Amino acid sequence: MSALARHFLEMARNNIWANYRLYEACARLDDAELKAERTSFFPTIHGTLSHVLIVDWYYIDALERGGRGRSVFERTEPFEHFADLRAAQEESDRRLIAFCAARDDWSLEDIVVLDRADGPKRETVSAVLAHLFQHQIHHRGQVHAMLSGTHVPPPQLDEYFLDQDAHLRAEELQTLGLPVR
């Protein structure tokens, strides 16, 4: 596996791990706290987590050539209950890991067609993956900030890549069935 393909696979693994940590923290909130209005682009924790999932669905579907396109955006909060949202996010994260695990340098340059309101747009797989990971990081940061206004302390989300932090993530990676590096 090339360095770039390995990087995208590690980003996908980081993604499921960061979501796991964030969802573990959010699970300590009750439904009213998850849906309370707060200062952010999407005004609730539940709404922001829903947005992350829906956008994941959109891009992963495009990467897999599933054909759903913009139909994934029909509901802004597809799950009323946090547990269902969490399970769907983990399923999406695992699909992304599987997709990235099957990449090589050649397939990273394949063209993906994105169904946009103003017509189809063509992008490379590598550009879509980079954008998707950036989107996830951006909105996890918003949830992290919203958690600061609750009784639940926001979790560390930046302890994945460095070897010196391995002991801080090992147990969670084992729980997720991921390699502990």
For residue range 97-108, what is the model confidence (pLDDT) as tens digits?
Answer: 999 999 999 999
Would you say 47 and 57 are in contact if contact means Cβ atoms under 8 Å apart?
A: no
Res 39: pLDDT? 87
SS3 content of the chain, % helix, strand, coil (to 5): 65, 5, 30
Would you say 120 and 113 are in contact if contact means Cβ atoms under 8 Å apart?
A: yes
**Mean pLDDT throughout 166-172?**
93
Question: How does pLDDT run across 127-167, given as a tens digit for each residue?
Answer: 999 999 999 999 999 999 999 999 999 999 999 999 899 99
Name the pTM for this structure. 0.94
Name, in order, each residue with C-beta under 8 angstroms of 158's C-beta and a sequence gap of 6 or more: none
Res 53: pLDDT? 98
At the topology level of CATH, where does 3-176 sit? Four Helix Bundle (Hemerythrin (Met), subunit A) (1.20.120)
In percent, the amount of the chain with pLDDT more than 70 equals 100
CA 79: distance to chain centroid?
Answer: 16
Instruction: Domain ranges for the chain, please list them.
Output: 3-176
Would you say 37 and 45 are in contact if contact means Cβ atoms under 8 Å apart?
A: no
CA 37: distance to chain centroid?
Answer: 22
